[in-house]
Chains A and B, each alone.
Chain A
Amino acid sequence: MPRWLSRARKNGSLLALPTVLWLVIFFVTPLVIVLAFSFMSRGRGGVAIMPFTLNHYERTFDIFFIILQRSIGLAALTTVICLIAGYPLAFFISTRRRRLVQQITLFLVILPFWTNFLIRTYAWRILLGEEGTINSALLNLGLISEPLPLLNTQLAVLIGLVYGFLPFMVLPIFASVERFNFRYVDAAHDLGANDIRTFLRIVLPLTMPGVLAGCALVFIPSVGAFVTPDLLGGTKGLMIGNLINNQFGGSGNMPLGSALSVVMMAVVMLSLLVYVFANRRDRGA
């Protein structure tokens, strides 16, 4: 038996072998292919061919830059709104004295997951459409004289994203507040801190792990979202996810799609780095 094998048997790293194989075949390999494609030229039918070129990256940061910008902007705004709406909600849920109230509210937060995401997003089309629920209600009430352009706007995408990802903000913050020892609030009050200062200096820093996790869980999928912008955004609300999706269709451009994917991954990696850094600073390592 070779030495590396006997050592691996001893320290248990053989146990990781199936996972490692799985990741190499289904994660690393495609990643390498995407990376390679992104530097290749477009052939007939959108496939990647030689020679190597930086053309797709140039286009990404040139004509598609506005879409990249919009994606990051919408994702950031989604994260901020989810945080502002989700923190008080999570706080409310975790501070309920009665277990039943807590369980019911938590259940309501998770309830939308019982329906398919696609169907729920279609429902928003019905709500936001020109003859949709919101417009007809406002028209009937005489508050507006003609339908508001709600559907196929960036606002619609934002509403859809916030709606879809709010639970991902609420749940980790809930877990954080649940772990928070409210004796610290007594202690802060005791030492002369009013409610606002107590929140800013004690409660918020101590629940920051939940806030950071929630932000990461909302921001990362929001940047790459394509179902929501596809159904609610129209051409005005196009995001990078849609752009990538289109490149892999019939008349697409796989190398361009790969380049866009690589850039998007870089954005996600960057935000994860921010998350890890903030978390570490928070722990005060």
Chain B
Amino acid sequence: MGVKQMPSYDVELVDIVKDFESGGGRVRAVDHVSVQIEDSEFFALLGPSGCGKTTTLRLIAGFEQPTAGHILIRGRAMEGIPAYHRPVNTVFQDYALFPHLTVEQNIMFGLQMEGVHKKEARVLAAEALEKVRLPGVGERKPHQLSGGQQQRVALARALVKQPAVLLLDEPLGALDLKLRKNMQFELKALQRDVGITFIYVTHDQEEAITMADRIAIMNDGLMLQVGTPKQIYEHPETHFVADFIGETNFIAGTLIERRADGYGTVRLGDGTVIRAQLSETLGGSAGTVTVAIRPERISISTPLNPPKALGNADEATVLDALLVDSQYIGTDTRYTLRIGDEIELVARLQNIKDQEHAALKIGGNVKVFWQDSSTTVLDK
């Protein structure tokens, strides 16, 4: 339709808390989470197992009730509204296809609950199977299908209801790597095609980064950071986020100066002073901090092959280092470098030019350099 009411959040969580009773004690699974998810957004909830992401999803679905806080779906408060009256549908991790019903009956189930006539439901079910590219299996029982096929049926069963929001709980978790990669593309394409808001729970950072419009990182029930994959990857706001997403070098240091341009001066353990970009969430007081920098942002050059122009030299850092180790990992080579006695860094260089790698000898002295905008200063 294209008509957008403003503000149009599809799902809004307002200060959600969820406690579980467990063995006499209380466990906080979701800790004051607030987030707005927009219409037609592909939103990923990412975190390690037990971080509260699945509980958050179950709260939205209505399988669990929040201890405190509010959930709004399309602006409507969900308090007291049971799961079967919510305009959301779920694709479960183990698919939860009804084993005693055929594939077609599984897909028709939700339609029949809405009172759709059997004939019409049958047509819609067939269409849904076409949409997930699995036509002609309607008569089969779920156990006669492969894992990937069951996954598609689960998707069809949820999508046929045309929900406002589709909730997906690690839907690709049980598939093998190759199939998972293919399904990632397909799911993303499908989401664009149907235009339904997807809330996608995963512990696989790569999955989240490649598929999602925005990612929320959760740990210990807290939502640590919400942003686009690029924001999350390049500007992590906490040590945990930087560590959880991708590989990161952490260098301990002391913040000795804050500047108005968003950069600061940090003294590293061995006395080296560098310029680095401050995280927006960095605590107020100067003191012990961590400088984070991604391995692929670090360049290496030998004394014979000096650092190439980095634009303004004031905005780059160049340090002497010792090449300690190298590790070939297919697309890249990982180099372990030592600066001074204490600091160890990992740099990744793509395996494009062989002579570049050939010049890097273990035990040799090199220069490492990076642009200051590639760094982030975080609370320790």
Contact = CB atoms under 8 A, between A and B. Distances in A.
A187 B90 contact: yes
A284 B84 contact: no
A254 interface: no
Contact of B157 (A184, A189, A191): A191
Contact of B84 (A181, A184, A193): A193
Interface in B262-319: none
Given A201-B109, A205-B100, A189 B92 contact: no
Interface in B323-346: none
A195 to B, nearest CB: 8
A205 B158 CA distance: 22
Determine the interface band of chain B, counting residues with CB < 8 A from chain A: 20 to 34
A206 B99 contact: yes
Interface string B250-263: 00000000000000
A101 to B, nearest CB: 14
A190 interface: yes
A186 B61 CA distance: 9
Contact of B161 (A181, A184, A188, A191): A191
B94 interface: yes
A183 B94 contact: yes
A32 to B, nearest CB: 42
B380 interface: no
Nearest to B115: A192
A197 interface: yes
A189 B62 contact: yes
A190 B114 CA distance: 12
B110 to A, nearest CB: 3
A186 B161 CA distance: 16
Given A188-B109, A191-B157, A206 B100 contact: yes
Contacts of B83: 186, 189-190
Contact of A193 (B63, B94, B96, B109): B109
Interface in B95-147: 96-100, 109-110, 113-114, 141
Contacts of B161: 191-192
Contacts of B375: none
Interface in B149-168: 157-158, 161
A211 to B, nearest CB: 13
B113 A192 contact: yes
Contacts of A131: none
B272 to A, nearest CB: 55
B50 interface: no
B89 interface: yes
Nearest to B108: A191
Interface in A173-209: 181, 183-184, 186-194, 197, 201-202, 205-206
Q: Which one of A183, A188, A192, A202 has the highest number of Cβ atoms from chain B below 10 Å of its Cβ? A: A192
Contacts of B63: 186, 189-190
A186 B92 contact: yes
B194 to A, nearest CB: 17
Contacts of B90: 186-187, 190
Most A CB atoms within 10 A — which of B62, B110, B141?
Answer: B110
A184 B96 contact: yes
Nearest to B100: A205
Contacts of B97: 187
B114 to A, nearest CB: 6
A206 B90 CA distance: 21
Given A191-B109, A191-B157, A186 B84 contact: no
Contacts of A58: none
A208 to B, nearest CB: 8
B98 A197 contact: no
A146 interface: no
B110 A191 contact: yes
Nearest to B21: A97
Contacts of A197: 113
Contacts of B96: 181, 183-184, 186-187
13 contacts: A183-B92, A189-B82, A189-B83, A190-B84, A190-B90, A190-B158, A191-B89, A191-B158, A192-B114, A201-B109, A205-B100, A206-B99, A206-B100
Interface of B: 61-63, 82-85, 88-90, 92, 94, 96-100, 109-110, 113-114, 141, 157-158, 161
Interface of A: 181, 183-184, 186-194, 197, 201-202, 205-206, 282, 284
Given A190-B88, A202-B98, A205-B100, 20 more contacts: A184-B98, A186-B63, A186-B90, A186-B96, A187-B97, A188-B109, A189-B84, A190-B61, A190-B90, A191-B89, A191-B110, A191-B157, A191-B161, A192-B85, A192-B113, A192-B161, A193-B113, A206-B99, A206-B100, A284-B100
Going nearest first, the 4 A-B pairs with the smallest beta carbon separation are A191-B110, A192-B113, A187-B96, A189-B83
